[in-house]
Structure 1
Amino acid sequence: MTQLWVIVPAYDEAARIQQTLDALAAQTDTGFELLVVDNGSTDGTADIARAFRAPFPVHVLVETEKGVGCAVDTGFRYAIAHGARLLARTDADCLPRPGWVAAARAGLTGGAGLVCGRITARRDEHGLLGRAFFSGLVAVAAAFGRLRPAHRGSGYKAPYRMHAGNNMAITAELYEACGGMPRRPSPTDRTFLNRVRRTTSAIRHSRTMVVENSTRRLAAYGITGTAKWYLGRGSGPLTADPR
């Protein structure tokens, strides 16, 4: 039984998920099981995942309750129920670099309960200027997050450092102990991180656990709208999901 599972929530990602699947198949460490959680897609996302042939087992689960938090929580709990002890997550519009799984495994078996990786912009969606803006925005959002009163206080066992939900790994034991991913409201990643911070100090950040992140929010929201989103100001009149 494989102890490490990779969870990929997906909704209407037929145009991108094949690249994500190929990136996972190209990992230096393929000793894992892959679970794609289709969140009620209306395109061929689930069919692409079912047809994918890889050097590891591939499972496809349908979660009809809408919301990325619902898809992630259902996927994690399904994996745990089927023997997973180590869990890693990326998204269906992201490209994990070849050493991503190996870095996640090393962090979790090296004493971490939660490992957060580094995100960078996909090179096929924007030019150099767009990627530079994305990097700067992530840095500003991370600094802003550390200063927010909601992220500080005596109840936390670890200092706040922004983590991306599309690049994280956690032990099954800690996932259950902290209460898991909140199913709503979206975005859920900050709430989840704070749940973990209230439970343990064993949070590590890995520079070698790298995911290339989609920057389509930049195209959909523009510079100001994207900045508001990453600074926790919400999506305003725009959908929270910029497909």
Structure 2
Amino acid sequence: MNLWVVVPAHQEEARLGETLRALAAQRDRDFTLLVVDNASTDGTAAVAREFAKRAPFTVEVIDEPEKGVGSAVDTGFRYAITQGATLLARTDGDCLPRPGWTGAARDALLRRPGLVCGRITARRDEHGPLGRVAFMALVALAALFGRLRPRHARRHGYRAPYRMHAGNNMAVTAELYLAVGGMPRRPSPTDRLFLNAVRRHTDRITRCRAMVVENSTRRLRAYGLRGTARWYLDQGSGTHGTDDPR
């Protein structure tokens, strides 16, 4: 099975290097890395291309001029599939996958082909203990809100119960990705739309606790506690652009 890891990145010159080093530290490095530079005006693509010169796996860098994380992910996944990918994993350009991430993603997809949702925790280098606790509390609240939300109930034709799905920590078979029409390119939050498309198609959705990504908490700094709560509770980004921060 041919695994590709896709990393969409917008204006991530300062952070992308850490993500790439975390991927280079994976115990399972039998994959191709694809960085999708999404309309960046900084040195994001240059960071990825410089890393490619010494990476312990094949690295490709492509451009997606249509701004939006959904557009970048869809372009990246579809490109990987045309190059022979059968298994796809995604994280973001400000996240730190732990060393067992790719191996856990591969094992989970081989055991039960479909969609695999990993576990996120807060990065330790962006906020102190209180900030990390606040972030994880918001994630837990959003997960509960999603499960209780009437529109997510199985009576609406879903084949699997709702469980919060972090787009920056997911893996999916190429077959399922194409079958559900891919990642919606707009509007945000595209991850939730994709999850519900999968839920309508199949019940083959696996939670993998061994697949861990340390998530950026910088949305807290940019949006504040209230604004971040609005975002995670699917109430939009308020006065903030949906792509800033990513």
TM-score (norm 1): 0.98
Work out whether 1:195 is the aligned partner of 2:158. Answer: no
1:23 equivalent in structure 2: 22
SS of 2:39's equivalent in the other structure is coil
Cα drift, residue 150 of structure 1: 1.8
Q: Specify the SS of the correspondent of 1:116.
A: strand
What displacement does 1:242 show?
A: 3.2
Unaligned runs of 5+ in 1: none
Q: Which amino acid is the alignment partner of residue 208 of structure 1?
A: A
Q: Which runs of 5+ in 2 are unaligned?
A: none
Letter in 2 for 1:184: R
**Which position in structure 1 is the counterpart of 2:238?**
236
Instruction: Write out per-residue CA displacement over residues 117-140 of structure 1, whole angstroms, 9 at most, x where no aligned residue.
Output: 000000000000110111111111
Corresponding residue pairs, total: 242
SS at 2:186 equivalent = coil
Specify the SS of the correspondent of 1:104.
helix
Is contact 2:68–2:243 with CA below 8 Å preserved after alignment? no
Q: CA deviation at 1:187?
A: 1.6
Partner of 2:122: 121
Which secondary structure does the structure 1 equivalent of 2:66 belong to? Answer: coil
Q: Could you tell me the percent identity over the aligned residues?
A: 70
Runs of 4+ with >4 A deviation: none
The offset of 1:65, in angstroms, is 1.0
| Equivalent position of 2:150 in the other structure | 149
Say if 2:30 is the partner of 1:37. Answer: no
- Decide whether the 8 Å contact of 2:69 with 2:243 is kept in 1: no
Deviation at 1:205, TM superposition (A): 0.3
Matches within 5 A, 1:85-234: 85-152=86-153, 153-234=155-236
Q: Secondary structure at 1:181's aligned position in 2? A: coil
Shift of 1:184: 0.4
SS at match of 1:206: strand
CA distance in 1, matches of 2:182, 2:133: 33
Separation of aligned partners in 1, 2:241 and 2:187:
13
